[in-house]
Chains A and B, each alone.
Chain A
């Protein structure tokens, strides 16, 4: 626990916290962006599929 306190309040916290924070934010943003984009286009394809008779090429 004392190690953790040093990470969040130690002498170098001003460098460690932005590095970890930015990394976690970037990974979360990449994940959310990829999943939401995939979800949006899957819905769009399914909606158009429902209107279509044939099976156009991918």
Chain B
């Protein structure tokens, strides 16, 4: 499967229709999700602030999901040396960093009225999420710091592999340690612990964020393929 999609020509044909399709799905999910989120009833404990959940939870989920994509692509690039894998990993990093930053900021905006504080360094969920953000920044910085493309991709891929250790820490931190952050309320034993009036807009928003990432990831990879082609043609014309 890797070699099938690693062919840039085949990827360009496939992504040409898949990227707009995912983009349209994202637009529908986000518009509908935001509307239902704005119309959802006020929570009896959290009041209006429950509406922050609809942008915070999908951003936090995407921070983890993008890192899984980044690490998976890095692994394929490192082990199988497929031409598109490094490009895919590199394209996922800025979007993952943006989603993680959004999760941190919206979480802080939610935490202030609910916990009485913007931030708590002693909290495992908050700190591990911040470490995830630092891994994204480190990955991008490493890519920029080394001029040789193959060397920078290899070094960044190794860093991405190391960062995978942090993913279960982020996810299970609320179970392993006492935390200000609430426990899992969607992906948990016994099913989601929230009524459908909150669950449906939350799932719609999550699907919207995920499909938007899928669409933009493909667009970014296409841009990188065109950039390589433009540079290759420039070199060929200069040598001729």
A19/B52 contact (C-beta < 8 A), A3-B39, A37-B223, A51-B237 known: yes
Interface residues of A (CB under 8 A from B): 3-4, 6-7, 10-13, 15-16, 18-20, 22-23, 26-27, 29-31, 34-35, 37-38, 40-42, 44-45, 47-49, 51-52, 54, 56-58
Choose one: A3, A11, A23; the contact of B41 (CB below 8 Å): A3
Q: Which residues of A contact B184 (CB under 8 A)?
A: none
Q: Does B183 make an interface contact (CB < 8 A)?
A: no
**Does chain A have a CB within 8 A of B128?**
no
**B98–A58 CB distance below 8 A:** no
Q: Select one of A7, A37, A52, A58 contacting B48, CB under 8 A.
A: A7
Pick the interface stretch among B72-80, B129-137, B228-236.
B228-236
Q: Are B51 and A20 in contact (CB under 8 A)?
A: yes
Q: B49 contacts A16, CB within 8 Å?
A: yes
**Interface locus among B103-111, B145-153, B164-172, B173-181:** B103-111
Contacts of A38 in B (CB 8 A): 219-220, 222-223, 226
Residues of B within 8 A of A (CB): 8-9, 23, 30, 34, 38-42, 47-49, 51-52, 55-56, 59, 83, 95, 98, 101-102, 105-106, 109-110, 112-113, 209, 212, 216, 219-220, 222-230, 232-237
* Contact among B48, B56, B220, B224 for A12, CB-based, below 8 A: B48
Do A19 and B106 have beta carbons less than 8 Å apart?
A: yes
Please determine whether B226 and A19 come into contact, CB atoms closer than 8 angstroms.
Answer: no
Tell me which residues across on chain B come within 8 A of A48, comparing CB atoms: 229-230, 233-234, 237
Give the CA-CA distance A26 to B56 in the complex, in Å: 13
